């Protein structure tokens, strides 16, 4: 089957790219390896900037995709050394159930949605892409298109195949495993704030939240490090600081995050094959990536639309259009003044106490590690 554009990955980045290309009359296939709705281990906190991007392209987020409580006001940062800071969003955002939101975005993007269809290989020429895909036990098939937007997430197959050297040097070493554990329990915590914990001893940033009657604890770990150790430290800190008590069976969800942005590395693809979202390395220092995925998916699609019919490949325009966004991300990591990602860090940045200076130093070490 021949398409104008193939989009791989039905997360926010891929759905946004597919929607924007369909809106311009392109024939698009959205290729997703899992059956939809699929689980995506995620806090599901959608900043107001991300919510505005969704609303502009798809309309308001339907109530069926929202979690309880559905309003989020920002993040509370608890530092293991004692600091406690409120980092608000400029206005309230939303708490969503990722499986439902992503399925809704895929169903409304207007593309041919090929779920349960995994991209296993890619041949990319100047204006031609051939994707080799498999569906379960069936034989490998080929999908062809003029353009590709690969938004296939933290462990992007497209990045590995299109830029093997870059992948080996920058992406693979920065791939971080995450374990999200969801349990019933009690905690003295306003659920409209998502929690970020800055752990001592190289533990880095851990995340926690209360939604839909469950407590979620997410810890990062390298391939060689046991996640349980990080989870025990986080739970001990929350027992002490927020009266955490866990009950009943826990649900575990393993995932990965691509932290190559912490080293200042991004890859936007090449030629007619563009990378968006976490596949490109777009993840903010707190580990939030929904807004960046939506924004880059939209810019990738617009770059293809604007260069269609021209002799230059869309990658040139995409790089140019993404420059401001990438510079802003890098500047925020460096300067650490008013905002980092979508969060207002002025309470932390403005605190002159010795403890706050120590917390800022620990965060910067984490951002650049």
Chain contacts with ligand FAD (rule: CB under 6 A): 8-14, 31-34, 38, 40-45, 118-119, 151-153, 157, 178, 180, 194, 207, 218, 255, 257, 277-279, 283, 287-290, 293
Shortest Å distance, C-beta 113 to ligand FAD: 11
Helix count and strand count (H, E) for the chain: 10, 18
Q: Are 248 and 193 in contact (CB under 8 A)?
A: no
Closest to ligand FAD by CB, 38 or 319: 38
Shortest Å distance, C-beta 18 to ligand FAD: 11
Closest to ligand FAD by CB, 255 or 267: 255
Classify residue 226 as left (phi > 0), alpha (psi -120 to 50) or beta: beta
Shortest Å distance, C-beta 302 to ligand FAD: 17
Closest to ligand FAD by CB, 189 or 288: 288
Q: How far apart are the first and last CA of the chain?
A: 44
Closest to ligand FAD by CB, 15 or 242: 15
Peptide bond into 37 cis (omega under 30): yes
Shortest Å distance, C-beta 117 to ligand FAD: 7
Closest to ligand FAD by CB, 162 or 356: 162
Shortest Å distance, C-beta 60 to ligand FAD: 18
Tokens of 58: 């798809």
The single-letter DSSP state of residue 269 is: E
Helix axes 290-307, 314-335, angle to 10 degrees: 150
Closest to ligand FAD by CB, 194 or 356: 194
Shortest Å distance, C-beta 184 to ligand FAD: 19
Q: Which residues of 238-253 are buried (b: 16+ CB within 10 A; e: fewer)?
A: beebbebebeeeeeee
């Amino acid at each position: 089957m021949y398409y104008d554009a193939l989009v791989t990955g039905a997360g926010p980045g891929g759905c946004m790219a597919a929607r924007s290309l369909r809106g311009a009359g392109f024939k698009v296939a959205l290729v997703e390896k899992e059956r939809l709705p699929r689980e995506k281990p995620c806090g599901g906190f959608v900043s107001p900037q991300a919510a505005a991007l969704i609303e502009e392209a798809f309309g308001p987020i339907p109530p069926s995709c929202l979690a309880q409580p559905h309003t989020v006001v920002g993040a509370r940062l608890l530092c293991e050394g004692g600091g406690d800071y409120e980092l608000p969003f400029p206005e309230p955002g939303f708490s969503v159930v990722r499986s439902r939101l992503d399925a809704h975005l895929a169903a409304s993007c207007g593309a041919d949605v090929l779920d349960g269809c995994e991209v296993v290989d890619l041949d990319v020429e100047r204006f031609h892409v051939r994707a080799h895909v498999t569906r379960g036990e069936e034989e490998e098939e080929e999908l062809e298109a003029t353009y590709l937007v690969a938004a296939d997430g933290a462990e992007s197959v497209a990045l590995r195949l299109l830029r093997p050297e870059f992948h080996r040097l920058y992406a693979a070493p920065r791939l971080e495993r995450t374990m999200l554990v969801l349990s019933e329990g009690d905690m003295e915590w306003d659920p409209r704030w998502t929690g970020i914990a800055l752990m001592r001893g190289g533990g880095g940033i851990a995340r926690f939240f209360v939604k839909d009657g469950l407590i979620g604890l997410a810890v990062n770990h390298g391939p060689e490090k046991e996640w349980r150790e990080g989870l025990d430290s986080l739970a001990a800190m929350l027992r002490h600081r927020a009266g955490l008590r866990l009950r009943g069976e826990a649900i575990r969800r393993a995932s990965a995050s691509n932290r190559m942005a912490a080293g200042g590395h991004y890859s936007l693809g090449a030629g007619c094959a563009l990378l968006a979202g976490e596949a490109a390395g777009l993840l903010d220092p707190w580990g939030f990536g929904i807004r960046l995925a939506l924004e880059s998916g939209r810019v990738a699609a617009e770059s293809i639309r604007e260069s269609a019919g021209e002799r230059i490949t869309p990658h040139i325009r995409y790089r140019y259009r993404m420059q401001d966004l990438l510079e802003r991300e890098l500047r925020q990591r460096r300067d650490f003044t008013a905002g980092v990602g979508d969060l207002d860090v002025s309470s932390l940045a403005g605190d002159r106490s010795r403890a706050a200076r120590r917390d800022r130093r620990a965060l910067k070490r984490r951002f650049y590690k």
